[in-house]
Structure 1
Amino acid sequence: MNITVVQRILGILLMVFSLTMIPPMLVSLWYWDGAFIGFTDGFMLTLGLGVLIWLPVRGRRQELRVRDGFLVVVMFWTVLGLTGSLPFLLAAQTGMSLTDSVFESISGLTTTGATVIVGIDHLPPSILFYRQQLQWLGGMGIIVLAVAVLPMLGIGGMQLYRAETPGPMKDSKLTPRITETAKALWLIYLGLTIACALAYWGAGMSLFDAVGHAFSTVAIGGFSTHDASMGYFDSTLIKMVAVVFMLLSGANFALHFVAVRRRSLKIYLADSEFLFYLTSLGLVFLAVTLALYGMGTYTDWSEAFTKGLFQAVSIGTTTGFTTADYSLWPGFVAILLLFSSFIGGCAGSTGGGIKVIRFLLLIKQGFREINRLIHPSALIPIRIGGKTVPTRVVEAVWGFFALYMASFTLMYLALALTGLDLMTAFSAVAASINNLGPGLAGVGANYAGLNDPAKWILCFAMLLGRLEIFTLLVLLTPAFWRK
């Protein structure tokens, strides 16, 4: 393992990340909100740490191996979560502890959207902007951005791309060169963000709110500049804009790329994962709306329809915006919505969860096993979109699912051990590992009431979900460290 090369890359990435604190500094100066010093100190500390890590090994230039890529990604997200907490910790207006600052930072970067802050409406504008920006950077993955930049510094990027890209099919590239692939993804991501901000602004949001919510919508993050989240805006148009862009951002970005390049919407209709994605969300929306109206939660059909559609898409894509406290809805509705987050977004999207393609493969594998009972000697391939799925991919999906369930169970037990009631513990782990945000019971509104050990466990859960289980857990195996 090339430890010195890993160290050099980590130092470079930290120096790059320190620059992301400049926009909030400018916002602080514009509004003169008193948080400027916190961002200045955070910028200097992050930049200084990056320089100290990079300087001793600045001349080491070697190609990354796959194991090095995994180590860089995990170290970077961990260190990034810690350094990203500095503005929260150092800004006098927030009054946040170290645990709360790290929790908020990791929640933002992993696009989870769980918050420990009560009184978001009263935060300085620069802190609000910084929270939203963290989610935007974490959405597509700042590592993917680095993949486009690192080759210019003499560092290959394919290993980082494999470690960072979500979904079971990591080796497929949109373009022949990995750098061009990363640039294509970011151009689509940036284009969707600008379109979303303009749509929000046109629908009635202030420019500040429009940009902030566009950051978290396209990132499938869920942070808001208001305590009431999307419920703050009494506008059906704004909510429908959010629904459209949450649906787009929960889809595979490769589909957007191909659809734009070929100028055809038929690409979406030909994709099995996208169709299953829309079908599953549609069924959840239908069930939620009928239940809200039928159980008398909302007596007006249009209100049940609007709130049911918004929450089904928001929770199902793991965005986490709310127009109402869904944890107070009938138990059937609340549990159904929470369970829909386990499916999550499509592979290659900014969404969390297990991913649609994995669920589709698990279902097809289940039906194949049933058919094998009837026809023991038959060779029954699994096909997605008319193409046979390699056995290695199916095995990887089963391995992922097994590790996911094992990790979920252990963290659930660990949270229960800290003294949380079972529903709070269950929903907190589900909302964190699926990068959803709002849970049920004690974490329905926010996570401020949790004890510190529980918050650190959930920080691990958020990282585990963002890095797709394997990327993080592979570092905990003895085989990874053997020469």
Structure 2
Amino acid sequence: MQSQLIIRILGILLMIFSITMVPPLAVAVIYGDGGGGAFFSGFLISLVTGLFLFLPRKKVRGELRTRDGFLVVVLFWAVLSLFGAIPLYLSSIDNFGLADAVFESFSGLTTTGATVIVGLDDLPHSVLFYRQQLQWLGGMGIIVLAVAILPMLGIGGMQLYRAETPGPVKDSKLTPRIAGTAKALWYIYLGLTIACALAYWGAGMSIFDAIGHSFSTVAIGGFSTHDESIGYFNNSQIELICIVFMIISGVNFSLHFAAVRGLSIDPYKRDPEFKVYLGIIGVVALIVTLVLVFQGGLGFSEAALDGLFHTVSIATTTGFATENFSTWPIFVPVLLIFASFIGGCAGSTGGGIKVIRFLLLFKQGAREIKKLIHPNAFFRIRVGETVLSENIIEAVWGFFATYVVLFFIFMLILMADGLDQVTAFSAVAACMNNLGPGLGEVAANYAGISDLSKWVLSIAMLFGRLEIFTLLVLFTPDFWRS
């Protein structure tokens, strides 16, 4: 373990992260909301700590090994989330303790969108902007992690394309260097954010709301500057714009790279995961719409818009809302929560288990049924035209099994802490899938749960965002053996 090199990198990350507290400080000055002191303090603490870690090791050089990479990735989210909580803890939010600040910061950087804040409309503009910015920064970090870093470590959703699958990595031919890849993806991410902000502004949002909501839409975060979320605007045009950009952001960003570079939609047409992704959204949206029409008493046009908006929002794990979907009839709330388990595509800003993994789980199940009928036959699993190795299938099963075990552990802890089954189940699902809103006591926000549950759910967010194994490997004795 190259501890000195890792500490040096962490110092650099903290110094860079301190700069992100300057924009909300500027917002505080512009709006005169009195929130500048908290962000100036957060800036100084982060900068000084980063310098303290970096300066004694500024001449340390070396190449990160795989084991070092795991630790750096975990520290990236964990440490920056903890330091990101500083200005929130020091702000003027009423009854806001340390557990609340850490929960809100973790929720922002992991793009979960779960909040413990009640009364968003009354918060200083600087705090509102900071929350949105956290999600935007987290979303970009996710893209770089998934497409540029995790394949090197042999983990995460993108490893599924290592066997020459006709998917994003093969088709897009991303630049060979991580820096080049990150730069290319950054331009696409920034371009989508600007386009989304302009569209929101043109549809009637204020400049402040348009920028803030574009941050959380493209990051698939779900934070809003209003308690009523997108429903605050009561504008169908804004909802349609939100739907479009949520769908786009739930797609593998390597596909966007290939489409932009080739000025062609062929990469989307050839990708099996993309087709399944759209198919799941379409089927769930249709079911929700029909239930709202025949059981909810809504007109078809209203039901179609509400059904499509919330299906896209929950299925992509964004978490925006125009209505309280937890009160919708029969099984719809549970159906939507289950859709979040699938989540977005690999290499997107979406959470969940990822569409490609569910596609492979389905294919593996179908293969087992065939084996029962033809026990002596040998069947291979294909994605598109490419045959996948058994190692990939085993990795998917291992991920799914570990996910289920962790899910029930978190759920049991929350139930032991006093939450009912519905609240505990949906809270863990919403946090591990980086969704945000749940059912029961956490349908609107997480302010009413205990500090213990907030700490547990903060850890669940981190497990979900880091694709479980990235974090879990740190708890094995072999990892720390030299």
Q: Deviations over 1:165-193 (max 9, x none)?
A: 65443764612222211111111111111
Q: Work out whether residues 201 and 210 of structure 2, in 8 Å CA contact, stay in contact via their aligned partners in 1.
A: yes
Distance 2:111 2:417 in 1: 25
Distance 2:20 2:215 in 1: 14
> Which residue does 1:280 correspond to in 2?
280
> Which residue does 1:72 correspond to in 2?
72
Q: Work out whether residues 35 and 93 of structure 1, in 8 Å CA contact, stay in contact via their aligned partners in 2.
A: no
| Same amino acid, percent of matched pairs | 61
Unmatched tracts of structure 1, length 5 or more:
148-156
Unmatched tracts of structure 2, length 5 or more:
163-168
> Which residue does 1:458 correspond to in 2?
457
> Which residue does 2:298 correspond to in 1?
299
Q: CA deviation at 1:39?
A: 0.3
Q: Work out whether residues 8 and 54 of structure 1, in 8 Å CA contact, stay in contact via their aligned partners in 2.
A: yes
- Single out whichever of 31-40 and 389-398 deviates more from structure 2: 389-398
Q: Work out whether residues 229 and 323 of structure 1, in 8 Å CA contact, stay in contact via their aligned partners in 2.
A: yes
* Residue 374 (structure 2) pairs with residue 375 (structure 1): yes
Distance 1:237 1:140 in 2: 26
TM-score (norm 2): 0.95
- Which amino acid is the alignment partner of residue 294 of structure 1? F
> Which residue does 1:39 correspond to in 2?
39
Q: Deviations over 1:288-344 (max 9, x none)?
A: 00011110x243221111100100000000000000011111240000000000000
> SS of the counterpart of 1:11?
helix
Q: CA deviation at 1:390?
A: 2.0
> Which residue does 1:387 correspond to in 2?
386
Q: Work out whether residues 108 and 134 of structure 2, in 8 Å CA contact, stay in contact via their aligned partners in 1.
A: yes
Q: CA deviation at 1:361?
A: 0.4
- Single out whichever of 90-99 and 283-292 deviates more from structure 2: 90-99
Q: CA deviation at 1:379?
A: 2.3
Distance 1:109 1:303, change over 3 A: same
The total of aligned residue pairs comes to 473
Q: CA deviation at 1:482?
A: 1.5
Distance 1:267 1:142, change over 3 A: closer
Distance 1:364 1:452 in 2: 42
* Residue 349 (structure 2) pairs with residue 350 (structure 1): yes
- Which amino acid is the alignment partner of residue 361 of structure 1? L
Distance 2:127 2:368 in 1: 52
Distance 1:338 1:123, change over 3 A: same
Distance 1:217 1:285 in 2: 19
> Which residue does 2:165 correspond to in 1?
none
* Residue 213 (structure 2) pairs with residue 213 (structure 1): yes
Distance 1:175 1:168, change over 3 A: same
Q: Work out whether residues 150 and 158 of structure 2, in 8 Å CA contact, stay in contact via their aligned partners in 1.
A: no
Q: Work out whether residues 69 and 160 of structure 1, in 8 Å CA contact, stay in contact via their aligned partners in 2.
A: no
Distance 2:143 2:360 in 1: 27
Distance 1:284 1:294 in 2: 16
Q: CA deviation at 1:142?
A: 6.7
Query: Where do residues 18-97 of structure 1 align in structure 2 (5 Å cutoff)?
Result: 18-97=18-97
Q: Work out whether residues 143 and 253 of structure 2, in 8 Å CA contact, stay in contact via their aligned partners in 1.
A: no
- Single out whichever of 159-168 and 345-354 deviates more from structure 2: 159-168
> Which residue does 1:153 correspond to in 2?
none
Distance 1:35 1:170 in 2: 46
Distance 2:345 2:158 in 1: 8
* Residue 120 (structure 2) pairs with residue 120 (structure 1): yes
* RMSD between aligned residues: 1.8
* Residue 227 (structure 2) pairs with residue 227 (structure 1): yes
TM-score (norm 1): 0.95
Q: Work out whether residues 168 and 358 of structure 1, in 8 Å CA contact, stay in contact via their aligned partners in 2.
A: no
Q: CA deviation at 1:375?
A: 2.0
- Which amino acid is the alignment partner of residue 275 of structure 1? K
Q: Work out whether residues 410 and 428 of structure 2, in 8 Å CA contact, stay in contact via their aligned partners in 1.
A: yes
